[in-house]
Every structure is written in structure tokens, then in C-alpha cells.
Amino acid sequence: MSNFEELLGFAEESVHNKIGIYLNDLQRTILITTLQEGRKTYDQLAEECGYSPKYVKQDVAPKLWQLLSQAFDQKITKSNLKAILEQQIRHQPSVIEQPPVIKSSVPVAPTAAEKGTILLVDDHPQNLRLLSDLLEEQGYEVQQALNGKVALQAIPRACPDLILLDIHMPELDGYTVCQRLKANPQTQDIPVIFVSALNEAWDKVKAFSVGGSDYISKPFKTVEVLARVENQLKVRRLQQELKEKDRQLQQALQKLEQLTA
């Protein structure tokens, strides 16, 4: 039978190797309590860790079970976690002994800049705070703007990798901000995800027609926000890699033309 430390380390390593994410402290606390077969409820854990019970039950815990389910390609819950981990460890292929390799005891996680810089544009501070906490928890670098005017001034000076843009704002609404960004060659390639309580088909059609890349409806779900953010950042990285390869190809062609001449 595998011991507690072995199960915990195996679970965390599997999530990181398969998905590329390190569990945060609160997720790790839930995992430890579950593996130790503790009787603590999510409400008790939330109180001990200084979080709201709603946040733990509706955001943190569901995300943890989803990550573990993805890592092991099967449904994992609080009740079957320990049994599945023990089964997975037992069925690991035997490893031929190799010379010992010295590794750092501290895992090197990607920096916030490497994960991506995200600009949040919303005139409600509580929405900015909620999204900031969610994204920073996943390792992203987050910037904030309380209205469209501030965003349009700040973006050209420090272009983010992604913008989450509220639609209804004073002075300049999200549609107008997005149109101006897409009209500027310096900012036109930055993907924009609209975030709005509006959920009519016409609103979504208009969001895409002005250049939006995606749309999230309020009240948003943590899993959906993270999935859409990561998807747009992947597309952004692929586009940048393609541009760089195209630039290198053009340089090579110019050199070839010079040599031929």
C-alpha cells in the first residue's frame, strides 16, 4: 500500500506532467485532507484558510477534481481519489535503474510573463478583483483598466497578450474599444474576449463582427474562463511563431537573391 506522501507527490506530479499546472495552496490543502481521509467539510477548510465557502465549493474544489480527472483520464472525486491513485501507482511500468540524477528540490514553474499578460477592462472594481485573483492564481500576469479610455491609452505602451473586455462601460463601450484596437496596426493582432451579462445571440454576433475572438457570459464559470483564456493564448503564441518563421524565411530569400545577383 502506498503511503500518504507518495500518493500526494504522485498526484501533483501527474497534474503537472499532463496539464502543465502546479496545484495552488488551497487545492493542495483539499488534496491533503482527502488523502488523509479527514472528515473536514469544504466549509471548515474555507474557514481555516480564510476563504469564502462559496469560493471553495464552487470554484477551487471543482477545478481540482477536473484537473485530476484530466491527468488520469477518468472521473475522479473526493470519494474515489485514494483508490485510483493507489491503482495507478501499482500499474506503473517498471523502470530500469539509471544512474542517479541530481535535481533541484524546488520545481521551476513558468513565470507570469511566460504564461501570458492579460489586461482586464471593466468599470466594476469587484469584477476586476475577482478575475484578477482567478487568473493570477493560475500564474498569469494581470493588468487592469477601469474604463475603455484608460485601456486605449495604456495598451499601445505595453501590449498585453490578451484582453478581457466588458461591453457595458461609461463613455466608451466595449464594442467601440475593440473597433479602435482593431483599427490600430500596433494593437490589431491582440485577441479580445468579451465579458458581459448580455447573452442574446445578437450581442454575440456584434462582438465577433467588431473583431472579438471569443465571448464569456456573466455570471461566468471558473472552468470556462480559464479554458477560453488558455485557448486564445495558445492561438496567439502560434500566430507569433508563424510570423517569426515567415520573417526568417523572408530574410533567407533576400540573402539568396543577393548571392544570386
Q: Which pTM was predicted?
A: 0.56
Which uninterrupted H or E stretch holds 217?
A: strand 214-217
Q: Are 131 and 222 in contact (CB under 8 A)?
A: no
Average pLDDT over residues 223-247: 91
The yes or no reply on domain 112-242 and CATH 3.40.50.2300 is yes
Considering only 38-42, 77-81, 205-209, which range has the smallest mean pLDDT? 38-42
Q: Does residue 219 have a cis bond before it (omega within 30 degrees)?
A: yes
Residue 52 and residue 46: Cα distance in Å, rounded?
6
Cell 530500469, residue located: 96
Considering only 98-102, 163-167, 173-177, which range has the smallest mean pLDDT? 98-102
| pLDDT at residue 260, as a whole number | 85
Count H helices and E strands in the chain, helices first.
12, 5
Give, in order, the Cα–Cα distances in Å from 52 to each of 55, 151, 251: 5, 31, 56
Average pLDDT of the chain to the nearest whole number = 83
Q: How large is the C-alpha radius of gyration of the chain? A: 23
What is the grid cell recorded at 17?
506532467
What is the grid cell recorded at 121?
477592462
Q: Are 155 and 190 in contact (CB under 8 A)?
A: yes
Average pLDDT over residues 11-22: 82
| pLDDT at residue 66, as a whole number | 87
Output the CA angle 194-198-204, nearest 5 degrees: 55
Query: Quick one: pLDDT band at residue 110, thresholds 50, 70, 90?
Result: low
Output the CA angle 86-91-96, nearest 5 degrees: 120
Residues 6+ apart with CB under 8 A from 42: 30, 53, 56, 57, 61
Residues of the chain with CATH 3.40.50.2300: 112-242
How many CB atoms are closer than 10 A to CB 33?
A: 18
% of the chain with per-residue pLDDT over 70:
89
